[in-house]
Amino acid sequence: MAKVELSEETKAGIEEIKEADLLIAVAVPVDAERLRTAVTNAVLAMEQPASSALRTVVVFPGVGGSEAKTNPDTGDTGDQLRIMPYTPPAGDPSRIPWLPPPSTYQALFAMAREFGARACAVIGADLAALESDSLGPLIAPVVEKRCDLAMPLYAMGKFDGLLNSSILAPLTRALYGKRVRFPLAPDFCLSGNVIPQLEIALQRSTAQGQTLFWPATEAAVRDSAICQVHVEARHLQSTDGVDLSTVLAQTVGPLFAEMMTNASIWQRVRGSQAVATSGVAAMPPADGAPADTTPMVETFQLGFRNLQEVWSLVLPPVTLLELKRMARPGSDRFHMPDEVWVRIVYDFALAYRLRTISRAHLLGALTPLYLGWVASYALEVANASAADTEQRLEKLARAYEEGKPYLLSRWRWPDRFNP
Amino acid sequence: MWTQVSQSLHESMARVISRIATLLPGILALILAVLFFAAIAWLVAWLVRAFLKAIRIDDRLARGTNAIAEWSPQYTPTILITRVVFWCIVLVGFLVGLEAFGASSDNVLTARLLGYLPNIVGAVVLLLLGNVIARFLSRSVLIGAVNMNLHYARLLSLGVKWLVLVLTAAMVLDHLAIGAAIVDLAFGILFGGIVLAMALAVGLGSRNLVTRSLEREAARPASEGVAEEQFRHF
């Protein structure tokens, strides 16, 4: 895919406004009135003088869409803040509504470049970041030139964002050596300096058929300065019409694909480094009733009974033996050791690369194993405090790092005997 | 009398030997044609492979979830296309050889066999395709059903596999013109039987499941819905 061309209306809007210091780029369709209120409050709430004095432009997908028809008024909101709709680029819509496709990011970064913005804050998924006053803290480190990419640190309950905690975050950390807690966060802020590089990276990844944009990974492979900011925003994505296996395939698949693209880079990375973190951690949401893990354990056992022929194509015999032990119905307490889970993820990544079986089948066959890990984790942290839960996830992330030599060996010599 | 028997045997042997002798040039022509076209096929396949590598077709088709890689994950598009080209040319060589063989013999059986050959080739292709589709669909159903927590996942998967295989077998026999109406009838009975058996098995098997599910739904306290929402995967 070539460079994304901005529509004539969008170009005209940019031409009219001309310049901006800060671009607040909303990536998903939102209600224009609600956006106007939220963004006005968010900009007013910015305490840092460096941020509040910025000429700010807010762009949101609107021209030609239903938002433009229902809310045609897109006028100014003061001298420092302008709101402008843009035409979202045509292309395949993401199968997961809250994850914008790379072409949307291409359009947003093109607009940031045209405006000559010093910083670009991307607001994905919903307006939670604007409505919870998370914008100021997210923008400040970039505007003050403390880092090139500011990623949010959401306050989450111990059973929230499990896919991120179990695969996305620890795998990205082990591969690229940066301890970013939410590598696929919908909200982030970028420095204007790195935007041209990311545009090139996006062109390359869309040309390779990538369906997701990984800001933290792109920054890590370019050795850009990454920082994390504690924010109060909490995204509550609707799960209507999107099942777990689809989300797993649509997020883990692109992560494995990214691994293939960056293989020469992550193979040289050893260990991991903490990234600068600012702000005060918000209170995580209170835990609800005790979690019932029985359905997840049952799905894992059902998977073991039925999917052995698929798993045996991907996993070595020793892992299958471990799974057999875990799937035994008599065991009083279900437990999946971190080492086993890490090897499973690494073996699936390798099978994705080698196309051992169809990739759709491969990622589908990962779902019962993932639910097995979730059940094991839920039982472990059922009575743990938020701090203990973080420690538990840190232990998992270290297991990923310690298991990386296994991944390297399997990646480099996939035909070598692996008992 | 023995003289007459001996003479008769000698004459029949001479006739058979002369028939074989008349066929020999045809067989030789067949072998030569196959060998010649195999050499051409090897050369063309090599050229096609070089061309496909030059235009980097594997990389182009590897974007996202392309159909070829999904259905045949272990072979790259280059290998698949190269092999198809190779075997098509070898097949043409075989047909040319057979034509030469037929021209050198005036046997009616040979002529009928030659006319039947395209049916055999078509049937083999159908059989291969049917097997690939049956395996792919069976695995898709199995994985999907397990992820939907269906306890009869394997049964569903086997049912789909056999449905496709039976359909393939019927098409193959139809293509070979074997059985005619009997095959159609048998296929109808078998196909309908499998569908009915699956419907009964799934229906009867899930009767208790549905009952339990409805009972659970009716007796479920308001707080249980919240407990299910406790795990947020994304």
Out of A161, A295, A310, the one facing B232 most closely (by C-beta) is A161
Mean confidence (pLDDT) of chain B:
80
Which distant-in-sequence residues (6+ apart) come within 8 Å of B169 by Cβ?
Answer: B130, B187
Question: Which parts of A27-137 are beta strand (E)?
Answer: 56-61, 81-86, 119-123
Q: Cβ–Cβ of A310/B143 closer than 8 Å?
A: yes
Q: Which amino acid is at B23?
A: L
Long-range Cβ contact pairs of A303-306 (< 8 A, separation 24 or more): A303/A365, A303/A367, A303/A368, A303/A369, A303/A371, A303/A372, A303/B146, A304/A368, A305/B154, A306/B142, A306/B145, A306/B146, A306/B153, A306/B154, A306/B157
Å between A207 CA and nearest CA of chain B: 8
What letters, b where the CB count within 10 A reaches 16 and e where it falls short, cover A158-174? Answer: bbbbbbbbbbbbbbbbb
Residue position matching structure tokens 């970028």: A190
Distance CA A24, CA A80 (A): 13
Question: What is the number of structural domains in chain A?
Answer: 2
Out of A247, A290, A358, the one facing B233 most closely (by C-beta) is A247
Q: A-B interface: how many C-beta pairs under 8 angstroms? A: 105
The larger pLDDT score, comparing residue B12 to residue A233, is at B12
Q: Write out chain A residues lying below 8 Å of B65, CB-based.
A: 359-360
**Looking at the domain assignment, is residue A417 inside a domain?**
no
Q: Which amino acid is at A82?
A: R
Q: Cβ–Cβ of B149/A302 closer than 8 Å?
A: yes
Q: Cβ–Cβ of A288/B227 closer than 8 Å?
A: yes
Q: Cβ–Cβ of B64/A292 closer than 8 Å?
A: no
Token couple for A142? 């970039």
Residue A26 is inside which H or E element, if any? strand A22-26
Q: Cβ–Cβ of A289/B230 closer than 8 Å?
A: yes
Work out the number of other CB atoms within 10 angstroms of the CB of residue B104.
18
Q: What is the pLDDT of residues B169-212, one digit of tens each?
A: 888 988 888 877 777 788 888 878 888 887 887 777 666 666 76
Q: Are residues A244 and A379 in the same domain?
A: no
Please check the confidence at residue B18 and state whether its pLDDT lies above 80: yes
Selected residue of B141, B147, B226 to mutate for chain A interface (largest A Cβ count, 10 A) = B147
Out of B149, B151, B230, the one facing A288 most closely (by C-beta) is B230
Q: Are residues B44 and B96 in the same domain?
A: yes
**Looking at the domain assignment, is residue B228 inside a domain?**
no
The larger pLDDT score, comparing residue B24 to residue B102, is at B24
Q: Are residues B2 and B101 in the same domain?
A: yes
Instruction: Name which of B149, B133, B165 is nearest A358 in CA terms.
Output: B133
pTM here is 0.81
Q: Which amino acid is at B221?
A: P
Residue B212 backbone phi and psi in degrees, to 5: -60, -40
Structural domain span for residue B212: 116-220
Out of A211, A289, A360, the one facing B70 most closely (by C-beta) is A360
Residue B73 backbone phi and psi in degrees, to 5: -65, -25
Residue A2 backbone phi and psi in degrees, to 5: -85, -170
Structural domain span for residue A110: 8-278
Q: Are residues B128 and B207 in the same domain?
A: yes
What is the residue-wise DSSP string for A286-345?
PP-SPP--HHHHHHHHHHHHHSHHHHHHHS-HHHHHHHHHHH-TT-SS----HHHHHHHH
Q: Are residues B84 and B152 in the same domain?
A: no
User: Is the Cβ–Cβ distance between A228 and A144 less than 8 Å?
Assistant: no
Confidence of residue B64 (pLDDT cuts 50, 70, 90): low
Question: What is the number of structural domains in chain B?
Answer: 2
Q: Are residues B146 and B175 in the same domain?
A: yes
**Looking at the domain assignment, is residue A334 inside a domain?**
yes
Q: Cβ–Cβ of B62/A245 closer than 8 Å?
A: no
Q: What is the pLDDT of residues A258-301, one digit of tens each?
A: 999 899 999 999 989 998 888 887 777 777 667 788 888 989 99
Q: Are residues A199 and A339 in the same domain?
A: no
**Looking at the domain assignment, is residue B54 inside a domain?**
yes
Q: Are residues A88 and A174 in the same domain?
A: yes
In DSSP terms, which residues pair with A24 in a beta bridge?
A58, A121
**Looking at the domain assignment, is residue B164 inside a domain?**
yes
Which distant-in-sequence residues (6+ apart) come within 8 Å of A146 by Cβ?
Answer: A225, A227, A276
Tell me whether 0.90 is exceeded by the ipTM: no
**Looking at the domain assignment, is residue A301 inside a domain?**
yes
Å between B69 CA and nearest CA of chain A: 7
Residue ranges for chain A with pLDDT beneath 50:
1, 64-77
